[in-house]
């Protein structure tokens, strides 16, 4: 099984973001970026499957501006064999929709014949959670979203346990398939210094998006990006009886 893993370069999860004064978006320049945490988990699972001999090759993919190469190097250091960077300008990258990412992935899958695509369940910048099911639809492959456990399902199938609203469910999907990784699928490894050095020698292929003939014209225009309403801290109460009195006052507790 040849696995393609999508990784996205996003503003680091610990950064407190700032909205641009002209309301056109969020400040990203000079801000700490890193690999989307869910993509790290997807990558780790693919590498683990390779270690278990269930996968033959793990290829990391990123669609984005020039700096996306950094997250691909990280992916190589964490165990990917090769990397593919589909390049757009930073300006174009800011306007990409999940739909465009999925179309690009579809093209790469068809060109290089992958058997599975692993993605994070959502990117922590746009919080869309769409790329995996769109890609599955485009390829007409089964989808296993929000995976928390991946096992060999026998005779060309994989068994995937998924995190759903009321608990867990388990599905069996036929390979080829698309998977999205949830938080608790695994604990991603750190890239060690020797592996970071080795990663520099691993192949990283650059493909300008224009070569793939994909239409990235937007179907969604941003009108404005604003701050959420700010909540005012209400202050402290002295003790439990004061808290109970407040709750009574607000009608949550019968007087």
Partner 1 sequence: MLSARTLLTRTARLSNARLNSTLVIAEHDDTKLAPITLNAITAAGKLGSDVSVLVTGANATKVAEQVAKVNGVKRVIVAQDEKLKNNLPERVAPVVVASQKQFNFTAITAGSSAFGRGIIPRVAAKLDVSSISDVTEVHSADSFTRTMYAGNAVKKVKSTAPIKLLTFRGTSFEPAKEGGSGAVEKAPAADIATDASEFLGQELSKSERPDLATAKVVVSGGRGLKSGDNFKLIYDLADKLGAGVGASRAAVDAGYVPNDMQVGQTGKIVAPELYIAIGISGAIQHLAGMKDSKVIVAINKDPDAPIFQVADIGLKADLFKAVPELTAALK
- Which of positions 60-119 make contact with partner 1 (CB under 8 A)? 97-100, 102
User: What DSSP assignment string belongs to 29-95?
Assistant: TTS-EEE-HHHHHHHHHHHHHHHTTS-SEEEEEEEESTTHHHHHHHHHHTT-SEEEEEE--HHHHTT
Q: What are phi and psi of 77, to 5 degrees?
A: -70, -25
What is the footprint of partner 1 within residues 157-176 (CB under 8 A)? 159, 162-174
Alpha carbon dihedral 67, 194, 198, 107, in 10-degree steps, equals: -50
| CA-wise closest residue to 49 among 19, 95, 107, 5 | 5
Q: Which of 135, 147, 199, 209 binds partner 1 (CB under 8 A)?
A: 135
SS3 247: helix
CB of 193 to partner 1, least distance (A): 27
Quote the CA–CA distance of 135 and 142 in Å, as a whole number.
10
Q: In this chain, which stretch among 54-62, 73-81, 123-131, 191-199 interacts with partner 1, using CB under 8 A?
A: 123-131
CB of 198 to partner 1, least distance (A): 31
Does residue 236 interact with partner 1 by CB under 8 A? yes
Cis, bond preceding 176 (omega within 30 deg of 0):
yes
Does residue 184 interact with partner 1 by CB under 8 A? yes
Does residue 214 interact with partner 1 by CB under 8 A? no
CB of 108 to partner 1, least distance (A): 16
CB of 224 to partner 1, least distance (A): 5
Q: Which is nearer to partner 1, 67 or 184 (CB)?
A: 184
CB of 199 to partner 1, least distance (A): 28
Q: Which is nearer to partner 1, 194 or 234 (CB)?
A: 234
Q: Which of 4, 5, 7, 11 binds partner 1 (CB under 8 A)?
A: 11
Q: Which of 33, 115, 126, 212 binds partner 1 (CB under 8 A)?
A: 126
Q: Which is nearer to partner 1, 29 or 227 (CB)?
A: 227
Does residue 31 interact with partner 1 by CB under 8 A? no
């Amino acid at each position: 099984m040849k696995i393609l893993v999508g990784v996205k370069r996003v503003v680091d999860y610990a950064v407190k973001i700032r909205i641009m004064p002209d309301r056109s978006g969020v400040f990203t320049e000079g801000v700490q970026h890193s690999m989307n945490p869910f993509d790290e988990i997807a990558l780790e699972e693919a590498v683990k499957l390779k270690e278990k001999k269930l996968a033959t090759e793990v290829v990391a993919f990123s669609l984005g501006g020039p700096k996306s190469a950094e997250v691909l190097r990280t992916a190589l250091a964490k165990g990917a064999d090769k990397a593919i960077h589909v390049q757009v300008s930073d300006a174009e990258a800011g306007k990409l929709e999940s739909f465009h990412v999925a179309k690009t992935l579809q093209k790469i899958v068809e060109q290089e014949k992958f058997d599975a695509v692993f993605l994070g369940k959502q990117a922590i910048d746009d919080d869309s959670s769409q790329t995996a099911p769109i890609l599955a639809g485009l390829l007409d492959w089964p989808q296993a979203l929000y995976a928390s456990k991946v096992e060999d399902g026998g005779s060309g199938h994989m068994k995937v346990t998924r995190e759903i609203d009321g608990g867990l469910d388990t599905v069996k999907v036929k390979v080829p398939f698309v998977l999205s990784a949830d938080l608790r699928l695994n604990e991603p490894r750190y890239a060690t210094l020797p592996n970071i050095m080795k990663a520099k020698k691993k192949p990283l292929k650059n493909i300008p998006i224009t070569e793939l003939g994909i239409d990235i014209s937007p179907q969604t225009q941003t009108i404005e990006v604003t701050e959420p309403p700010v909540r005012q801290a209400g202050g402290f109460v002295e003790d439990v009886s004061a808290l109970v009195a407040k709750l009574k006052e607000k009608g949550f507790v019968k007087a």
